[in-house]
Amino acid sequence: MSLGGTWYLILAAILFSVGAMGLLLRRNVLVMFMCVELMLNAANLTFVTFARMLNDIGGQSLVFFVLVVAAAEVVVGLGIIVAIFRRRVGATADDLHALKG
């Protein structure tokens, strides 16, 4: 028995909503970073679901490029987060002005 595409789209919408709310409500930089990654994975689930429903490989190839961009984001984002936490332990997103020279 296979689930229909609607259930995967509902799951993707829930995951994206949780990520968006976490991004808007939390001030911890690491939690915000994980929420952005959750939103990207929800978008990937949507692309794969539509590719499966339409019998097209385009959505799955788009997921590959989104994963490449997400990997680059992880590298840059974690570099910024490490730079913030080296200056202040327990820094929040409001403390980004500490990175000014």
For the stretch 30-87, pLDDT in tens is 888 899 999 999 999 999 999 999 999 998 999 999 999 999 988 998 888 888 778 7
Q: Quickly tell me which residue has 């490989």 as its tokens.
A: 57
Domains, the chain, ordered by start: 5-99 (1.10.287.3510)
Angle value at C-alpha 78, between 63 and 101, nearest 5 degrees: 130
What does the pLDDT read at residue 82? Answer: 84
What does the pLDDT read at residue 98? Answer: 64
CA 65/CA 71 separation, integer angstroms: 10
